């Protein structure tokens, strides 16, 4: 038993105001150090997933070539939806939809591929979205295909990746599929597809380069230029009229080459080098290594 002295004040355990302020300051410093670390971990995870997505796209291109003897084409035009012959998806020159639609069977998307244009157009595929930018997303607006599919509104599943190139020198060409033998610079030296640049302020609403979605025929939704180097995503009232590649990654884009290998391409890449990488047969072989 503890006997207390009469008249002597009892000291109570606890923090003084100064000690409490010091503890709060230490916690604030730790949080300040932790948040950037968490952000870096998330960014690294998103980059890894993005690279994996492009790896799967590259393998799907290879599988398409194995199955048909040529890579997917870029399709016909933005107003031409995926088409079917005798109830089956058309292939090669006859397929009006773009490369994203054409590789669905090799991305576990066979059901959407076979189900008809309306279903395919509206069905998101997570492989086509970069997690550094957004989760799978759709937009809905009036049917603008020619001729219209419904005459009413249609939902379009979007896409964060584009193929090379709108310049007409890349592996993905309008109308006419490309065969490996045509890639005279070598598949390991030729850029196939990568992140596309977008206006982040307009995500989720139809914009000229992010509305038809992954099934689009030859259009800026799914094909971009290599005549200009990639650039970061941006916030603005417009869209990237230069139709560049780009991303929400901090320093550059992820890209898959025609041999299926995935590389990182810096925003600071020389314009000429990027142009050569996008051209499958210009004789300018770039020994590219990220």
Q: How many domains would you assign to the chain?
A: 1
What confidence category does residue 3 fall into, taking pLDDT thresholds of 50, 70 and 90?
A: very low
Domain membership of residue 284 (yes or no) is: no
Domain membership of residue 64 (yes or no) is: yes
Question: What number is the average pLDDT over the span 269-286?
Answer: 94
Q: What is the pLDDT of residues 6-33, one digit of tens each?
A: 555 555 556 677 767 777 877 777 777 7
Q: What is the pLDDT of residues 239-265, one digit of tens each?
A: 999 999 999 999 999 999 999 999 999
Identify the pLDDT of residue 31: 72
Domain membership of residue 179 (yes or no) is: yes
Domain membership of residue 6 (yes or no) is: no
Domain membership of residue 152 (yes or no) is: yes
C-alpha neighbours within 13 Å on the C-beta side of residue 21: 3
Q: Cβ of 73: how many Cβ atoms within 10 Å?
A: 26
Tell me how far the alpha carbon of residue 74 is from its chain's centroid.
16
What is the DSSP code (8-state) at residue 108?
A: T
User: Could you tell me the residue range of the domain that residue 50 belongs to?
Assistant: 20-278
Domain membership of residue 166 (yes or no) is: yes
Domain membership of residue 286 (yes or no) is: no
Domain membership of residue 88 (yes or no) is: yes
> Which distant-in-sequence residues (6+ apart) come within 8 Å of 59 by Cβ?
106, 260
Q: What is the pLDDT of residues 62-92, one digit of tens each?
A: 999 999 999 999 999 999 999 999 999 999 9
What is the DSSP code (8-state) at residue 182?
A: G
What is the DSSP code (8-state) at residue 92?
A: G
Identify the pLDDT of residue 289: 62
């Amino acid at each position: 038993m503890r006997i207390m002295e009469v008249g002597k004040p009892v000291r109570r355990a606890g923090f003084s105001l100064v000690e409490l302020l010091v503890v709060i300051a230490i916690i604030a410093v730790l949080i300040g150090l932790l948040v950037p670390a968490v952000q870096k971990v998330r960014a690294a995870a998103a980059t890894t997933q993005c690279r994996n997505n492009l790896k799967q796209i590259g393998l799907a291109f290879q599988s398409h070539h194995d199955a048909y003897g040529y890579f997917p084409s870029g399709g016909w035009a933005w107003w031409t939806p995926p088409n079917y012959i005798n109830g089956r998806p058309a292939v090669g020159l006859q397929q009006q939809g773009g490369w994203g639609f054409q590789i669905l069977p090799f991305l576990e998307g066979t059901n959407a591929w076979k189900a008809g244009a309306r279903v395919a157009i509206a069905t998101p595929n997570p492989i086509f979205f970069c997690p550094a930018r957004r989760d799978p997303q759709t937009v809905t607006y009036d049917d603008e295909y020619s001729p219209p599919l419904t005459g009413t509104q249609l939902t379009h599943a979007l896409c964060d990746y584009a193929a090379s190139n709108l310049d007409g020198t890349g592996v993905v060409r309008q109308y006419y599929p490309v065969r490996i033998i045509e890639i005279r610079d070598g598949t390991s030296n030729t850029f196939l597809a990568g992140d596309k640049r977008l206006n982040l302020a307009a995500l989720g609403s139809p914009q000229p380069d992010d509305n038809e979605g992954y099934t689009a025929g030859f259009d800026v939704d799914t094909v971009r230029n290599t005549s200009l180097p990639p650039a970061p995503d941006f916030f603005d009232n417009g869209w990237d009229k230069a139709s560049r590649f780009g991303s929400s990654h901090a320093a550059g884009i992820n890209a898959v080459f025609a041999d299926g290998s995935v590389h990182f391409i810096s925003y600071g890449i020389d314009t000429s080098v990027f142009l050569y990488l996008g051209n499958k047969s210009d004789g300018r072989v770039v020994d590219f290594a990220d």
